[in-house]
Amino acid sequence: MDSILVTGNGPLNGQIPIAGAKNACLTLMPATLLSEEPLTLTNAPRLSDIKTMTALLQSLGAEVSSLQDGQVIAMSSHDLTSQTADYEIVRKMRASNLVLGPLLARFGEAVVSLPGGCAIGARPMDLHVEGLEALGAEIELEDGYLHAKAPGGLKGAVHEMRFASVGATENIVMAATLAKGTTVLKNAAREPEIVDLVECLRKMGAQISGEGTSTIEIQGVDRLHGATHQVVTDRIELGTYMLAPAICGGEVELLGGRVSLVESFAEKLDAAGVDVVQTKNGLKVARKNGRVRSVDVVTEPFPGFPTDLQAQMMALMCTAEGTSVLEERIFENRFMHAPELVRMGANIEVHGGTATVTGVESLKGAPVMATDLRASVSLILAGMAAEGETTVSRVYHLDRGYEHVVRKLEGVGAKIERIKGQ
């Protein structure tokens, strides 16, 4: 297995291009199942999660081609052969469950494996099921699979979600595009990836309003047609690389970045003493004087502080002046990076969903292990700010969500290399 070797060094300078959003692409790809006509995505990120979704769609009989070095994904679901999402693929990636709503809407039937436990929490699918049942689906759990049926087709309904789940919102919105009548989804998630999905569905002929607010209204149509859509910028990759100059010092411009994608996060950086400025081409982030100040963080659904940036923010707080409290409210088990950061000399105490971090003057390089996608990149950030060498193992997690991470960080002066495993 490959590992990443990082050697702590001084300030960073230069530019990093930000890719299209993994989480947007993973919901845009299943949208192809809603139509017989081709759907083409541009600005797609080159990631292993995208390959997993490609394999899943192909297992259903969809044609999926990767063009222009993976940045364009051309799909057609003209001749689907199966409505079953197999456990062998779903267990690799929870987002596989996003085929449920589209398959059910187009064919009145879908069989989708439950994703099972994953490293950062239980992550059930009850909110997806409740929403689809509100649209008239009959769903049963058998042998670990959700068997969903809507023999007479789905029917629009008013439904309020108990929690603003991102994936459930996406599944319900996609299903409702082909339902009879109007669906009003209340307490919907407001993430930019959902806005991006709705913009794509609208290009395909869907009638939807209210995306980006907590009430989304969908007027069902008989069929959707083909479209070409550009994937929105990855706000989590953006936020991650905004932390690079924050933790190492220097000035880095994140090409394609927009403050509106990371507002609550940028406010925290500002409070910590990091400058964030919108430029013509992106966001310029600089830390010029001394250590950053500690800030408290509570993760929340968008527009709150994203859970997917909590681990990386913790890495920054490890070297901040003072004590910060990080509260994780989205996932119940998302501090697995904390013991690894402690191995690098960080001072962190975890009690339930709260981590208290007292900043130290400097971290020390160590061999550490990535436990999930965002944890792995937090260890790289910490290693860039540490004295000596840090080796991050199990980097396959990283390949799920960060394209060309070594090249991008090297480009701004970080000392980082990928070591090929046996």
31 vs 168, which CB is nearer to ligand UD1? 168
Does 322 contact ligand UD1 by CB under 6 A? no
Per CB under 6 A, 398 contacts ligand UD1: no
Residue 121 contacts ligand UD1 per CB under 6 A: yes
Pairing assessment for the beta strands 207-209 and 227-230 based on DSSP bridges:
unpaired
Under rule CB under 6 A, residue 95 binds ligand UD1: yes
Whole-angstrom CA distances from 234 to 24, 193, 376 are 8, 9, 17
Give φ, ψ of 19 to 5 degrees. -80, 175
Helix orientation angle between 166-176 and 192-203, rounded to the nearest 10 degrees: 10
CB 337 within 8 A of CB 371: yes
Examine residue 330 and tell whether it contacts ligand UD1 (CB under 6 A). yes
Phi and psi at 283, nearest 5°, equal -120, 135
- Closer CB to ligand UD1, 38 or 121, in the complex: 121
Residue 116 binds ligand UD1, judged by CB under 6 A:
no
Q: Quick one: 190 or 408, whose CB is closer to ligand UD1?
A: 190
- Among 124, 144, 181, 388, the residue binding ligand UD1 under the rule CB under 6 A is 124
For residue 245, the SS3 value is helix
Residue choice 31, 41, 62, 127 for contact with ligand UD1 (CB under 6 A):
127
Kindly report the backbone phi and psi dihedral angles of residue 160, in degrees, each rounded to the nearest multiple of 5, phi listed first: -110, 125
Q: How far is the CB of 165 from ligand UD1 (least distance, A)?
A: 3
215-219/182-186 β-pairing: antiparallel
| Residue closer to ligand UD1 (CB basis): 30 or 383 | 30
When asked if residue 319 is in the footprint of ligand UD1 (CB under 6 A), the reply is no
Q: By CB under 6 A, is residue 308 in contact with ligand UD1?
A: yes
Does 126 participate in binding ligand UD1 (rule CB under 6 A)?
Answer: yes
Using alpha carbons only, give the angle 353, 358, 363 rounded to the nearest 5 degrees.
Answer: 110
Taking alpha carbons only, the member of 198, 213, 239, 243 closest to residue 24 is 198
Q: Rounded to an integer, what distance in angstroms lies between the CA atom of residue 18 and that of residue 383?
A: 21
What value, to the nearest 5°, has the Cα angle with vertex 382 and ends 380 and 386? 115
Number of residues that bind ligand UD1 (CB under 6 A): 22
Give 256 or 401: the residue with its C-beta nearer to ligand UD1.
401
Pairing of strands 354-358, 182-186: unpaired
User: How far is Cα 361 from Cα 371, in angstroms, rounded to an integer?
Assistant: 25
265 binds ligand UD1 (CB under 6 A): no
CB of 189 to ligand UD1, least distance (A): 6
Contact between 47 and ligand UD1 by CB under 6 A: the answer reads: no
- Determine, following the binding rule CB under 6 A, whether residue 174 of this chain makes contact with ligand UD1: no
Q: Shortest CA distance to 23 belongs to which of 118, 134, 165, 135?
A: 165
For ligand UD1, which stretch binds (CB under 6 A), given 64-72, 120-128, 289-297, 386-394? 120-128
Of the two residues 126 and 349, which places its CB atom closer to ligand UD1 in the complex?
Answer: 126
Q: Is 118 a residue of the active site?
A: yes
Choices 104-112, 116-124, 146-154, 336-344 (CB under 6 A): range interacting with ligand UD1: 116-124
Instruction: Using the minimum distance from each CB to ligand UD1, give the nearer residue, 236 or 412.
Output: 236
Among 82, 116, 141, 163, binds ligand UD1 (CB under 6 A): 163
On the 0-12 / 13-18 / 19+ scale of CB atoms within 10 A, 108 is middle
**The one among 128, 159, 190, 394 contacting ligand UD1 by CB under 6 A:** 128
Residue 21 near residue 422, CB atoms below 8 Å = no
CA distance 388 to 368: 13
Cross-strand partners of 354: 327, 351
Residue with the closest Cβ to ligand UD1? 167
The catalytic residue among 118, 200, 248, 318 is: 118
Residues 3-32 that bind ligand UD1 (CB under 6 A): 23, 26
Question: Which pairs from 81-86 meet CB under 8 Å and 24+ separation?
Answer: 83/107, 83/109, 83/110, 83/111, 84/60, 84/110, 84/111, 84/112, 84/145, 85/56, 85/59, 85/60, 85/110, 85/111, 85/112, 85/113, 86/59, 86/113
Nearer to ligand UD1, 17 or 30 (CB): 30
Q: Is 173 an interacting residue with respect to ligand UD1 (CB under 6 A)?
A: no
Q: Among 123, 180, 202, 225, indicate the residue that binds ligand UD1 (CB under 6 A).
A: 123
Residues making contact with ligand UD1 (CB under 6 A): 23, 26, 94-95, 121-128, 163, 165-168, 193, 307-308, 330-331
Active site positions, annotated: 118
